[in-house]
Amino acid sequence: MSPRWSPGKFLYNVTHNTDVAAALWRCATWIDEIGGRQKADELAGEPIRWHNEKKHVGGVDGIVPHNVGVNAPLFNLVGFRPIILGVCQLIESSVVG
């Protein structure tokens, strides 16, 4: 096992999948606590830019049309301490070999 990135090119602010799952659960409970998606859109809604061409989304059921704006709550997930993916990989490489 060898590192994927050369020195100085490590990815920063990596999150663990359990942290992402916990954050998604907390976002869902927050939306429920405040009274639903419509209220969440009022408090934290941001316009989601839609740039797909009409020909690419025409046959997909339930997809938002290319010319309709979407508004959805936006959340920012950050960790409590900086974790560098490359350093984690170097540690794993030294253990596994």
Q: Quick one: pLDDT at residue 47?
A: 87
Confidence of residue 26 (pLDDT cuts 50, 70, 90): very high
Residue ranges of domains in the chain: 17-81
Q: 79 near 13, Cβ under 8 Å? A: yes
DSSP string of the chain, one letter each residue: ---SS-TT-PPBS---HHHHHHHHHHHHHHHHHHTSHHHHHHHHEEEEP----HHHHTT-TTPPPTTS-EEEE------SS--BHHHHHHHHHHHH-
Confidence of residue 9 (pLDDT cuts 50, 70, 90): low
User: pTM for the complete prediction?
Assistant: 0.56
Q: Quick one: pLDDT at residue 49?
A: 77
What average pLDDT does the segment 64-76 reach? 80
Q: What is the mean pLDDT of the chain?
A: 75
